[in-house]
Amino acid sequence: MTTIETKSLSDSAKTKCFGVSVADIMSKDVITFAEDDPVEDVIGIFEMHHFHTYPVLSANGELVGTIDQNIVLEVLLFNRVPRTRHTHLAAIRSLGEDAKGIMMPHPVTISYDTDLYNAADMMLKHYIDRACVTDDGKLVGIVSKRDVINEVYRTRGTG
Amino acid sequence: MEDLLLLLLIVFLAKVFGEVIERAGFPAILGEISAGIVIGVLFIEPDSEVLSFFAELGAIFLLFTAGYREVHIAQLRSASGKALIPTISQMFFAFGSGFLLGLVFNLGFLQSIFMGVAFSPTSIGVVVKTLIDFDYLSSRPGTMMLTSAIFDDIIGIFLLSIVVTMATYNQAPSGMQILIIAAKLVGYMVIMGFLGLKVFPRLFTCVQKMHVKESIFAFVIIIALFSAYLAEVFGLHAVIGAFIGGLLISDIPLAKISNVQSKVSGLAYGIFVPIFFAFIGMSVELEIVKTSGLFIALVVVLALLGKLIGGFIGTRLIGFDYHDSLVFGLGMMPRAGVELVVISAGRTMGIIGDEAFSAIVLMVVISIIVSPILLKVAIMNKGIFGRSAN
């Protein structure tokens, strides 16, 4: 077993973190779906990549929803899940033929200029693991807890 | 019996009975109502103020979560207008059979109207499992059922709001009173629409930054209670407001964070809604089975036939063949949550008598049991006809 020494942020590292915005740490190369992408293609992307959530964009590039692993699992196994999960909405989603038909509309978003602390606070307080980053309704990236941890770790190392 | 012990007993038995019924292949609501009937027969009368208040909260949260989690305004916009014809047809026939039955049995105008409204909605969730088992969910009648169910709740709530407001006049309203009813409805909708579009989204942006624990969850509940209360101020029923409040925040991302949804669902389906269904069961007078057998039989048969015939005719009008129309009609037969909320509201307002109340609860129970069975038989018969045709 390896034991590592942990330490809290130094003052200089804190100052560095304070100036960091979500835009600095988010993933910018995001795989997105168009609203009319067929469900089979959507499931194929989940098989190819390891990401948890994919944004769905409208024809004019606006973020309209997200598709995450839970949705794909629910769609794939709808026939097998217990009756209590056979809600009207789940039944409609199971018949969805394209990304729009199965996506979760109105995803939680975070503005690109939100600072790191506020982003982390929101994630911790409301148990949000990742959020789409937007600039005036347009998707510019995705930020996850891992991105925040990586940034804090990087800053601490150089602090 | 002490209130605390009573609540403990009700939640415990509702969950245990619900699980047994669920494992037997039927929806848990049957178990929760049965738990109430057993408690009512063996132990106590439902005269506890605490219990009836919890049951009222159950009805409020049942409809609030229906609006909050199950309906999306975008869905309504995209739902095919074609579904309106079968929806209106099945609701019209169901309403008509309930209303006429009430008149024939001299229940009075208002109680007859309430009977009609209680006959009108459908609980599609009851037959989804059957549709899946027979690979019928994506069939023409299957998808039409799902689309029709989107309109169904909305029209049901609209009918309830009219009848509740009418009930305040305790008679058939005059022309002036109809205008006042319409003005109240419009006034409430305008205020709620403004809050939903302009205030609630900003409110949640601020709430998200609050330091106190569970701020978003608390404000979702506050909106549920506020919408219900404001509806009562406008002379509507609290459950109508709760449904509209839920609908209005269903498009606000921060209010729909999965963690918050899960807490709201836990509060509703973990505690209040089972208490509401058990309370309904406790309020059933089983003696009326002996004294009013014919009335109960007619309530059950007409409530089911109204949906079947209305659904059949409505889908025939838009070009379904006989078999698909039959499947659609049968799929529209089950009743559950909203119907029970309607009669519960009617009973609290002193409009629905014990006899009609108990008969409709038994109709709900029977509809939940027989609808999937009849649907199964109808779907399987198509196979038989198909083979004989070959």
User: Which residues of chain B neighbour A126 with C-beta distances below 8 Å?
Assistant: 208, 216, 254, 257, 259-260
- Output the pLDDT for position B266: 92
Q: How many CB atoms lie within 10 A of CB B139?
A: 16
B311 pLDDT exceeds 80? Answer: yes
Angle at B268 between CA B263 and CA B274, to 5 degrees: 140
Residue A71, min C-alpha distance to chain B (Å): 12
Considering chain B, what is the average pLDDT of its residues? 84
Q: Does CATH place domain A11-158 in 3.10.580.10?
A: yes
Q: Does CATH place domain B3-389 in 3.40.50.970?
A: no
Angle at A48 between CA A44 and CA A54, to 5 degrees: 75
pLDDT in tens, B371-386: 888 888 888 877 554 4
B232 pLDDT exceeds 50? Answer: yes
pLDDT in tens, A1-20: 333 343 444 555 455 556 78
Q: What is the DSSP string of A42-93?
A: HHHHHHH---SEEEEE-TTSBEEEEEEHHHHHHHHTTTTS-GGG--HHHHHH
User: Which residues of chain B neighbour A69 with C-beta distances below 8 Å?
Assistant: none
- Output the pLDDT for position B178: 76
**Site from B123, B146, B204 to mutate, A interface, most A CB atoms within 10 angstroms:** B146
Q: Nearest Cα to A96, choosing from A68, A72, A69, A80?
A: A72
Residue B252, min C-alpha distance to chain A (Å): 7
B68, B249 in Cβ contact below 8 A? yes
Q: Is B221 helix (H, G, I), strand (E, B) or coil?
A: helix
CA distance B139 to A99: 20
Q: What is the DSSP string of B293-316?
A: HHHHHHHHHHHHHHHHHHHHHHHH
What residue in A sits closest to B140 (Cα-Cα)?
Answer: A95
Regarding predicted confidence, which is higher, B68 or A9?
A: B68
pLDDT in tens, A58-111: 888 888 899 998 888 888 887 777 777 777 777 778 888 889 888 888 888 888
Regarding predicted confidence, which is higher, B93 or B337?
A: B93
Instruction: Return the domain boundaries, chain A.
Output: 11-158
Q: Nearest Cα to B216, choosing from B182, B164, B260?
A: B260
pLDDT in tens, B189-229: 899 999 998 999 999 989 988 888 889 999 999 999 999 99
Partner residue facing B125 (CB), from A87, A94, A127: A87
Percent of chain B whose pLDDT exceeds 90: 24
- Output the pLDDT for position B390: 36
Instruction: Return the domain boundaries, chain B.
Output: 3-389
Considering chain A, what is the average pLDDT of its residues? 80
B303, B95 in Cβ contact below 8 A? no
CA distance B260 to B151: 26
pLDDT in tens, B19-31: 998 888 888 888 9
Length of chain A: 159
CA distance B238 to B235: 9
Q: What is the DSSP string of B3-56?
A: HHHHHHHHHHHHHHHHHHHHHTTS-HHHHHHHHHHHHHHHT--S--HHHHHHHH
- Output the pLDDT for position B54: 92
Q: Does B28 sit within 8 Å of A84, measured CB to CB?
A: yes
Q: How would you label B314-325 residue by residue, b for 16+ Cβ within 10 Å and e otherwise?
A: bbbeeebeeebb
Q: Does B137 sit within 8 Å of A94, measured CB to CB?
A: yes
B14, B35 in Cβ contact below 8 A? yes
What residue in B sits closest to A132 (Cα-Cα)?
Answer: B253
Q: What is the DSSP string of B111-176?
A: HHHHHHHHHS---THHHHHHHHHTT-TTSHHHHHHHHHHHHHHHHHHHHHHHHHHHHTTTS---HH
Give start and end residues of each alpha helix (H) in B195-257: 200-207, 215-233, 238-249
Confidence of residue B78 (pLDDT cuts 50, 70, 90): low
Q: Nearest Cα to B323, choosing from B381, B270, B243, B283?
A: B381
User: Chain B contact for A153, CB < 8 A?
Assistant: no
What residue in A sits closest to B149 (Cα-Cα)?
Answer: A88
User: Chain B contact for A80, CB < 8 A?
Assistant: no
Partner residue facing B129 (CB), from A83, A88, A126: A83
